[in-house]
Structure 1
Amino acid sequence: MKVHHQLAIEAPPHVIYQALTDPELIGEWWDKQTVRHTGNGVVLEHDPGPEHGVVQMRVVLDIRDQWVEWECISQHPPTSPASAWTGTHLIFEITEAETPVTRVLRAYPGFDTTRLCTLNFFQTDYDERSEFLGFNNFAWAHVLQQLKRFCEE
């Protein structure tokens, strides 16, 4: 199963891409990141608190202004929503092409869609039986709104 969110962001692709790849900027819209260089590549880490443990995401793919993909490689206590993340991939796809969200927004009179990019976010390989599915899905909606606001400022 995958979690999917699609949102329109009034910012050019390079601004969104920077916000997703610069650890300091990620800290502005999500959580402060620490970068580790490992034998398996770059790993981003943040600590949401002792009850969750450190979240570690290995950078899997990074295509300038188009695609950012992380794999969650950390283990978490079963009582933590992050326990359902292990082995999932977090994918951020940036496009200027027409998408359902830009078609819908174009229908609003006076709305300028020429400055819009679409961000498709996916969290793949998510266990749909997880008791945290609803919580994590809602939390991603909140975090992605913070990313949108950050990119548009």
Structure 2
Amino acid sequence: MEYGSIERELYVDAPPQVVFDVLTDPEYIREWWSAETDFEASPGRPGTLTWTNESSGVRKSVPFTVVESDPPRTLSFRWTHDEGETAAAGNSLLVTFDLTPEGEGTTLRFRETGYRERGWEAAVLEAHYNDHRQGWDFYLPRMAATAKRVAGAR
């Protein structure tokens, strides 16, 4: 397996602006990604995503930096699991969401890259890649469901 990037494409039954809002509004992020955050979707702006393990109460925070924000077309950010570091090229993964109108909804193209650039040994690379692959396969459909619900409420 390559372990170079994770790519997904899915149809979201909501217009691009709603999908963009669901990707950037802390209230919606909490709903679909189960993470606490507060950030401005502007290039160069830092943020933090914080997950709380329900059973242990342990909190895990990861820093991210917005790379591109072109509502309602594109959102990209870099994130790292290295606490105390600013997410930048070379120490982070790059996540990109491209949104294209399709009928009444949106085609979302997702890509996460940068695994090989991290310089991890093979076993660590494989573990991170598989963890993120499984995570995105779980969270992207939840994001689509949240966007559909929000579109129906507007």
Q: TM-score, normalised by structure 2?
A: 0.71
Partner of 1:140: 136
- Which of 107, 128, 131 is the aligned partner of 2:126? 131
Instruction: State the AA in 1 paired with 2:32.
Output: W
Instruction: State the AA in 1 paired with 2:74.
Output: W
Where does 1:99-114 land on structure 2 (aligned, <5 Å)?
A: 114=103
Contact 2:78–2:92 at 8 Å: present in 1 too? yes
- Which of 39, 42, 48 is the aligned partner of 2:46? 42
Aligned length: 126
Pick closer, same or farther for the CA change 1:42–1:15 going to 2, 3 Å: same
Contact 2:48–2:61 at 8 Å: present in 1 too? no
Q: Does the alignment pair 1:54 with 2:54? A: no
Give 1:34 deviation, angstroms. 2.6
Give 1:48 deviation, angstroms. 4.5
- Which of 92, 98, 119 is the aligned partner of 2:108? 119
In structure 2, stretches of 5+ residues that fail to align are 84-90, 150-154
- Which of 55, 64, 77 is the aligned partner of 2:71? 64
In structure 1, stretches of 5+ residues that fail to align are 77-85, 98-113
Contact 1:3–1:126 at 8 Å: present in 2 too? no
Contact 2:47–2:63 at 8 Å: present in 1 too? yes
Partner of 1:21: 24
Instruction: State the AA in 2 paired with 1:144.
Output: L
Partner of 2:86: none
Give 1:11 deviation, angstroms. 0.6
Q: Does the alignment pair 1:73 with 2:80? A: yes
How far apart are the structure 1 equivalents of 2:62 and 2:134?
A: 18
Partner of 2:96: 91
Pick closer, same or farther for the CA change 1:88–1:28 going to 2, 3 Å: same
Instruction: Look up the SS of the partner of 1:55 in the other structure.
Output: strand
- Which of 7, 11, 17 is the aligned partner of 1:4? 7
Q: TM-score, normalised by structure 1?
A: 0.71
Give 1:56 deviation, angstroms. 1.6
Contact 1:48–1:55 at 8 Å: present in 2 too? no
